[in-house]
Structure 1
């Protein structure tokens, strides 16, 4: 079978630059990805369990949790824990930053300060490494990409401490949002991710709108399997029946997991670098310039 002149021309005119996506994918897979999550909320709300449920692994050891008869910690201690997890050849270095003690005291004044300081310290550390003369080719990234804020499901509205800490955590973006909790967030001008940009297409904009309309997610976490209709599922048994964690009619865990890992993980990383860190970086460099070249009096 011989080829026609037209087919030979097409074959000879093929350059091959369309393989660039494969080349990028190969390099990224070798290097792996970094994702840093900070979890904030009172003791006993299931922060560790939810993280382990989302990533289908025992990432956070329950030994660090308080027993009922233990005294409550007097300060908010920051506990970063790193894990490397692999799925279908994709390596993810997952950094989970726990904040035990937040909101557990009778007087919780300024208990959010260590959390805010930790987030800013990671930005500062990254900036210092960027500005060194012989900087690393790949700077280790400990900047926080996502904050999961746990609200006690009492049926009441947000506490004053919740409002203050979320205002501080989203200092660079103040705007409006959504009902009982969403209405309060709007009232207090706390803007939550995901954000829409000019790069988003119609499908992404619609997806972001659906997510914003769902926040806060009502979720149940479980690391145990229970049997439903003869099949093992992750869930919780109580006297009324079984809560299937992955049943969308039971809770919104699937939506939260998909949001964090399947649709917005990379965008969370890019948003941290391009919006939050850039705002911090510009502010710090302008302040440094002012110190180096003060304005004449």
Structure 2
């Protein structure tokens, strides 16, 4: 049977008939769909920046939760897990919210409880891996996949609390900085604010999440997002019909309706 050289020490050998490994991608997809997916989000930001509202908007649902008390002396983390399904794809979503972040007079240790929580999830997974009889296939992995860091729309610069916290977290989790309630600032000021944020992150050595560019199908758009890493977001749960088939979320003001959006 003839063969051709395709690289150093590698030969391409033609098959005499059907083997069956061409179905491996489909098998992997079916296995993943049957098992479902797990996604854990950490929302860090001061009280009142719309963390819960943005989660409702992102996943197009209303996450029911107990009212949060903001009279604690320190920062606490509240974790809720939800089972979502779209078509035949199941998603186990865990949303971790910071409660009381930035509410204290002395904010020096505000980041510590967040760091301790992230480390605890790493430790829990490590202990599961070290077991003689591991059950990782059914283990609920609670390690954080992404940290959405909500920045107050001041229009000036990052607060020292933000810089310190992001610096403490950047080696432990993928940080995605976003300007919350960005409709509170004029568009001209938003552009300057984004440039200021990026400059301060770089000058303070804060490493934020870089979107992968090794996949050619998304390399161009991901490269653009890496150049302008701060997102502008505006969440809302009021609905309005666009046409007969779709709706959009919006904020209602006295003078206009503003659709929810995310911009880079």
For the criterion TM > 0.5, the same-fold answer is: yes
Deviation at 1:114, TM superposition (A): 0.4
CA distance in 2 between partners of 1:223 and 1:136 (Å): 39
Aligned length: 230
Deviation at 1:74, TM superposition (A): 1.4
Deviation at 1:195, TM superposition (A): 4.6
**Of Structure 1 and Structure 2, which has the larger fraction of its residues in strand?**
2
**Of Structure 1 and Structure 2, which has the larger fraction of its residues in helix?**
1
8 Å CA contact retained: 2:240, 2:247: yes
Judged with a 3 Å threshold, the aligned counterparts in structure 2 of structure 1 residues 214 and 242 are, in CA distance, closer, same or farther, namely: farther
- 3-state DSSP of counterpart to 2:195: coil
CA distance in 2 between partners of 1:223 and 1:160 (Å): 32
1:98 maps onto 2:92 in alignment: no
5+ long unaligned stretches in structure 2: 1-13, 178-193
CA distance in 1 between partners of 2:172 and 2:212 (Å): 16
Judged with a 3 Å threshold, the aligned counterparts in structure 2 of structure 1 residues 172 and 124 are, in CA distance, closer, same or farther, namely: closer
- 1:56 is matched with which residue? 60
Deviation at 1:49, TM superposition (A): 0.3
CA distance in 2 between partners of 1:219 and 1:119 (Å): 25
- 1:42 is matched with which residue? 46
Deviation at 1:232, TM superposition (A): 4.6
CA distance in 2 between partners of 1:98 and 1:53 (Å): 15
Question: Displaced runs of 4+ in structure 1, greater than 6 A?
Answer: 228-231
8 Å CA contact retained: 1:48, 1:60: no
Q: Over aligned residues, Cα RMSD in angstroms?
A: 2.6
Q: TM-score normalised to the size of structure 2? A: 0.79
1:182 maps onto 2:182 in alignment: no
Give per-residue Cα distances to partners, 1:79-104, cap 9 Å, x unaligned. Answer: 11000101121111000011111111
8 Å CA contact retained: 1:78, 1:100: yes
Deviation at 1:239, TM superposition (A): 2.6
8 Å CA contact retained: 2:211, 2:225: no
- 3-state DSSP of counterpart to 1:73: coil
Structure 1 range deviating more: 98-107 or 117-126: 98-107
5+ long unaligned stretches in structure 1: 1-9, 246-250, 256-297
- 1:131 is matched with which residue? 130
- 3-state DSSP of counterpart to 2:205: coil
1:21 maps onto 2:25 in alignment: yes
- 3-state DSSP of counterpart to 1:116: helix
CA distance in 2 between partners of 1:145 and 1:98 (Å): 14
8 Å CA contact retained: 1:78, 1:99: yes
Q: TM-score normalised to the size of structure 1? A: 0.71
Deviation at 1:212, TM superposition (A): 2.1
